[in-house]
């Protein structure tokens, strides 16, 4: 009990993105046709012994694939697949399934399923970004400290994406064909937020073709705008690791009276303000999920003393990007942190 | 209605755009007015910058809103009550002088001469502070001088993000040094009762009376707490109506613009130290409740000490900073001939802020 409380205190920070940027996906799943060469599914089985498998069914980013799209109201079915994968490939491991504590029906269903199995445990989690990043999820569930960027396999922990479980089950166990992946697309640059069924290997261009709003400038991001990457070249092909695509409107012109139109600017790439110096507002260290003080790195960086940033526990930063997100002076804190790390 | 507004807005936006292109295509015009235009434009329109590095979305809070929040709080915290107590004609000319000298003369000249990009909203905050901690009957030119000194000082230091000490308080300090008698006289009796048009315009006849703290120093008499709380006692223009200052101050803390730690620690430590001295040294000391409710303490704790850039960055440092402020305030009020110590306390702790910060960092990240 005490242990639990302590964890809560350490990670009480973060941001409930699902509330800040609610995104609704349309119900139907659309298949994207593509006739060019595609990638086949393959899973690199680890050569180390796996002790823990963590399956995250609680996405904390609104643009991530909603759980219902994977479970399709058949939770036991999914858990059966997980059991099959476990018995076949990771027989000695213990499975941890993480679910959103607000989805009570899912929690109940999973608990009911679990009552007959001793290889499984169900954890509930608040959907607060970035609690599902490897460092925090391992810390919260197993109580182990891992460093940012460390491969969890070394500790015998395997983080599995729900879609990968289906993939391993279909492809390796059932020997069925498995060559599509669900990719949610969302953002202000699109007409509608949709879940697409895509064959990895399809170019981004082809996927977005019919969905982008006409007559606006837009930018495309893989794996979310907070810590994902920008797609520079739209002919780039989707691979099996892509989780979602976000298309944001690029408002690179001035908007009069921005205070009256916050909603129009929200969820675009606009900086929504101008670059200033740090005003010591403490927003960044209030939001940092691992209790760092990002402004310190910025001070070191502007003074030209990059190496000094390491003194302030820089290595603990999980590069979630929340500090840059919240900073009212619009400082590029994440960029600074990455520069200081290198 | 909405459509007309939209049309006007489009035309307005277009004309601003064409002015911008005109200015940028003429180097000479740009040299003289470029920065000025940028500055004015920055107040009306958003920037066109977009995120170049991850994260690619940013929250909508920016420094403008941050400062805007302080301005709103100050307006309801002291301007509105001051109009009630001293009359429109007493308050508004002071504000106008402060703004004209501070923002429109000193800041604009600075923008043109030093070729800074923008007029910072921080200047507005400073200008709104200046009349607030001067007596109601202070001459207008003194306010002008104060605003000029403050804004010049903050521009020399480099504006928001560089200030070592609170510029408004520094201006007040300079005034105290240069015109020592003027800033401590002219405490006018406030108007009380049901307001009439006449009283709202001109206030009551100018009867002066010493401030509660001075009265206490001279006669040991304690003004009633209720009149202190609601502002029916003498004092500087903006610091008498404590109840409104407290309410707006709490609103600021709720919005996280002011860090709640500072007012809590400042007021708490003033109370504790005052109680301590009162218990040990007896009646000659200022009693703790009276300490809390008199002078510029509430104003200072909620609005001046919380000025973010002049405190320390670290949260622990903020506690130490404000407890230091509280201690110095009590010591000055109790043991020195000066009746009011809030200004010196905050200025002094502003300076100490830098070493506090580095000591805290050394302790926290000691390996
Ligand atoms: S990017 Fe690093 S420093 Fe910034 S909030 Fe995330 S963990 Fe904290
Ligand atoms: S959020 Fe930005 S302005 Fe505020 S303390 Fe952090 S770095 Fe400074």
Every domain of chain A with CATH number 3.40.50.11540 lies at 52-173
The answer to whether the CB atoms of B161 and A312 lie below 8 A apart is no
Residue predicted with more confidence, B195 or B74: B74
Residue A9 pLDDT greater than 60, yes or no: no
Residue predicted with more confidence, B248 or B338: B248
pLDDT tens, position by position, A181-238: 899 999 888 888 999 999 888 898 888 888 888 888 889 999 888 888 888 888 888 8
Question: What's the whole-number mean pLDDT along residues B273-292?
Answer: 85
**Structure confidence at residue B251 (pLDDT):** 93
Residue A5 pLDDT greater than 50, yes or no: no
Count of Cβ atoms closer than 10 Å to residue A260 Cβ:
10
Quick check: B2 contacting A, CB < 8 Å?
no
Q: Output phi, psi for A52, to 5 deg.
A: -130, 135
| B204 pLDDT tier (thresholds 50, 70, 90) | low
| A11 pLDDT tier (thresholds 50, 70, 90) | very low
Quick check: A23 contacting B, CB < 8 Å?
no
**Structure confidence at residue B188 (pLDDT):** 77
**Whole-number Å distance between alpha carbons of B330 and B303:** 19
pLDDT tens, position by position, B207-254: 677 788 888 877 777 778 888 888 778 888 888 888 999 999 999 998
Continuous H helices in A146-277: 162-168, 204-208, 262-265
Q: Do you find a cis peptide bond into A130, omega within 30 degrees of 0?
A: yes
ipTM of this complex? 0.82
Q: Whose CA is nearest to atom 4 of ligand 1?
A: A323
**Whole-number Å distance between alpha carbons of B59 and A325:** 6
Query: Which residue in A has a C-alpha nearest to residue B43's C-alpha?
Result: A257
Which residue of B56, B257, B259 is in closest CB contact with A269? B56
With respect to CATH, is domain A52-173 assigned 3.40.50.300? no
Residue A12 pLDDT greater than 70, yes or no: no
- How many helices and strands (H and E) does chain B possess? 19, 0
Residue A239 pLDDT greater than 80, yes or no: yes
Residue B71 pLDDT greater than 70, yes or no: yes
C-alpha angle A249-A253-A256 in degrees, rounded to nearest 5: 110
Residue B72 pLDDT greater than 60, yes or no: yes
Right CATH for A179-249 from 3.40.50.720, 3.40.50.1220, 2.60.40.2550, 3.10.20.90: 3.10.20.90
Quick check: A278 contacting B, CB < 8 Å?
yes
Residue A277 pLDDT greater than 90, yes or no: no
The enclosing H or E element of A245 equals strand A245-249
For the CA of A279, the nearest atom of ligand 2? 3
The answer to whether the CB atoms of B62 and A274 lie below 8 A apart is yes
* Neighbour-count burial for A232-259, b at 16+ CB within 10 Å, e otherwise: eeeeebbebebbbbbbbbbbeebbeebe
For the CA of A280, the nearest atom of ligand 2? 5
**Whole-number Å distance between alpha carbons of A263 and A44:** 44
pLDDT tens, position by position, A55-88: 998 888 889 998 888 888 888 889 999 999 998 8
B95 alpha-carbon distance from chain centroid: 13
Q: Quick one: angle between helices B140-157 and B122-129, nearest 10?
A: 150
Question: What's the whole-number mean pLDDT along residues B248-269?
Answer: 91
Q: Whose CA is nearest to atom 8 of ligand 1?
A: A288
Regarding beta strands A157-160 and A120-125, do their DSSP bridges make them parallel or antiparallel, or are they unpaired?
Answer: unpaired
Per DSSP, B208 falls in state B
Q: Indicate the range of B31-45, B140-154, B304-318 predicted with least confidence.
A: B31-45
Question: B 153-192 residues with CB below 8 A of A?
Answer: 158, 160-162
The answer to whether the CB atoms of A328 and B13 lie below 8 A apart is no
How many beta-carbon pairs under 8 angstroms link A with B? Answer: 168
Regarding beta strands A245-249 and A181-186, do their DSSP bridges make them parallel or antiparallel, or are they unpaired?
Answer: parallel
Judged by its nearest atom, the ligand closest to the C-alpha of residue A327 is 2
Whether pTM > 0.90 for this model: the answer is no
Query: Which residue in A has a C-alpha nearest to residue B364's C-alpha?
Result: A312
Residue B302 pLDDT greater than 50, yes or no: yes
Residue predicted with more confidence, A283 or B295: A283
Per DSSP, B302 falls in state I
C-alpha angle A3-A5-A10 in degrees, rounded to nearest 5: 95
For the CA of A327, the nearest atom of ligand 2? 1
Quick check: B21 contacting A, CB < 8 Å?
no
Question: A 182-221 residues with CB below 8 A of B?
Answer: 219, 221
pLDDT tens, position by position, B128-147: 888 888 888 888 899 999 99
Q: Indicate the range of A294-303, A325-334, B117-126, B306-315 predicted with least confidence.
A: B117-126
C-alpha angle B8-B11-B13 in degrees, rounded to nearest 5: 105
Q: Name A62's Cβ contacts closer than 8 Å, sequence gap at least 6.
A: A17, A18, A21, A22, A23, A186
């Amino acid at each position: 009990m005490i242990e639990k409380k302590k964890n809560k205190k350490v990670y009480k920070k973060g941001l409930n993105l699902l509330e800040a940027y609610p995104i609704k996906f349309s119900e139907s799943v659309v298949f994207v046709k593509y006739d060019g060469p595609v990638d086949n599914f393959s899973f690199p089985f680890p050569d180390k012994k796996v002790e823990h498998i963590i399956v995250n069914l609680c996405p904390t980013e609104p643009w991530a694939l909603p759980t219902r799209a994977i479970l399709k109201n058949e939770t036991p079915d999914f858990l059966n697949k997980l059991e099959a994968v476990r018995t076949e490939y990771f027989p000695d491991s213990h499975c941890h399934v993480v679910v959103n504590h607000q989805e009570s029906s899912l929690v109940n269903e999973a608990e009911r399923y679990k009552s007959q199995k001793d290889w499984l445990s169900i954890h509930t989690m608040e959907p607060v970004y970035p609690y599902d990043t490897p460092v925090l999820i391992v810390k919260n569930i197993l109580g182990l400290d891992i460093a940012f960027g460390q491969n969890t396999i070394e500790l015998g922990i395997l983080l599995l994406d729900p879609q990968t479980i289906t993939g391993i089950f279909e492809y390796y166990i059932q020997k069925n064909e498995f060559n599509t992946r669900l990719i949610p697309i969302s953002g202000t640059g699109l007409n509608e937020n949709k879940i697409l069924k895509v064959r990895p290997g399809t170019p981004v261009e082809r996927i977005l073709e019919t969905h982008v709003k006409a007559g606006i400038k837009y930018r495309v991001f893989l794996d979310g705008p907070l810590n994902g990457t920008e797609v520079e070249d739209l002919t780039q092909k989707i691979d099996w690791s892509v989780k979602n695509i976000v298309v944001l409107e690029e408002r690179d012109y001035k908007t009069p009276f921005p205070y009256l139109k916050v909603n129009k600017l929200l969820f675009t790439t606009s900086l929504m303000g101008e670059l200033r110096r740090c005003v010591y507002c403490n927003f960044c260290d209030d939001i940092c999920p691992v209790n760092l003080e990002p402004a310190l790195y910025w001070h070191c960086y502007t003074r030209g003393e990059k190496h000094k940033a390491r003194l302030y526990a820089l290595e603990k930063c999980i590069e979630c990007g929340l500090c840059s997100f919240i900073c009212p002076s619009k400082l590029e804190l994440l960029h600074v942190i990455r520069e200081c790390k290198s | 209605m909405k459509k007309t507004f939209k049309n006007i807005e489009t035309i307005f936006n277009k004309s601003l755009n064409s002015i911008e292109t005109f200015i940028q295509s003429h180097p000479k015009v740009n040299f003289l007015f470029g920065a000025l235009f940028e500055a004015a434009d920055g107040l009306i329109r958003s920037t066109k910058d977009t995120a170049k590095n991850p994260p690619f979305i940013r929250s909508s809070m920016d420094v403008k809103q941050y400062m805007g929040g302080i301005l709103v709080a100050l307006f309801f915290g002291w301007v509105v009550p001051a109009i009630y107590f001293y009359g429109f004609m007493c308050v508004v000319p002071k504000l106008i002088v402060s703004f004209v000298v501070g923002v429109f003369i000193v800041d604009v000249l600075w923008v043109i001469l030093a070729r800074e990009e923008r007029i910072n909203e921080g200047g507005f905050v400073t200008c709104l502070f200046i009349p607030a901690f001067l007596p109601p009957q202070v001459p207008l030119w003194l306010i002008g001088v104060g605003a000029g000194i403050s804004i010049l000082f903050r521009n020399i230091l480099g504006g928001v993000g560089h200030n070592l000490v609170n510029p408004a308080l520094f201006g007040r300090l300079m005034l105290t040094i240069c015109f020592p008698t003027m800033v401590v006289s002219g405490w006018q009796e406030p108007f009380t009762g049901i307001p009439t048009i006449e009283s709202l315009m001109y206030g009551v006849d100018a009867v002066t009376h010493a401030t509660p703290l001075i009265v206490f120093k001279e006669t040991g008499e304690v003004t009633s707490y209720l009149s202190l709380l609601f502002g029916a006692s003498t004092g500087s223009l903006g610091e008498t109506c404590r109840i409104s200052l407290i309410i707006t101050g709490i609103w600021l803390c709720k919005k996280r613009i002011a860090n709640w730690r500072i007012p809590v620690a400042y007021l708490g430590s003033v109370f504790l130290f005052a109680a301590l001295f009162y218990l040990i040294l007896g009646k000659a000391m200022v009693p703790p409740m009276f300490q809390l409710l008199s002078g510029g303490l509430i104003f200072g704790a909620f609005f001046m000490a919380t000025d973010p850039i002049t405190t320390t960055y670290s949260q622990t440092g903020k506690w130490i900073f404000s407890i230091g402020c509280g201690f110095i305030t009590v010591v000055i009020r109790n043991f020195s001939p000066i009746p009011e110590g809030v200004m010196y306390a905050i200025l002094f702790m502003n300076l100490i802020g830098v070493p506090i910060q580095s000591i805290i960092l050394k302790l926290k990240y000691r390996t």
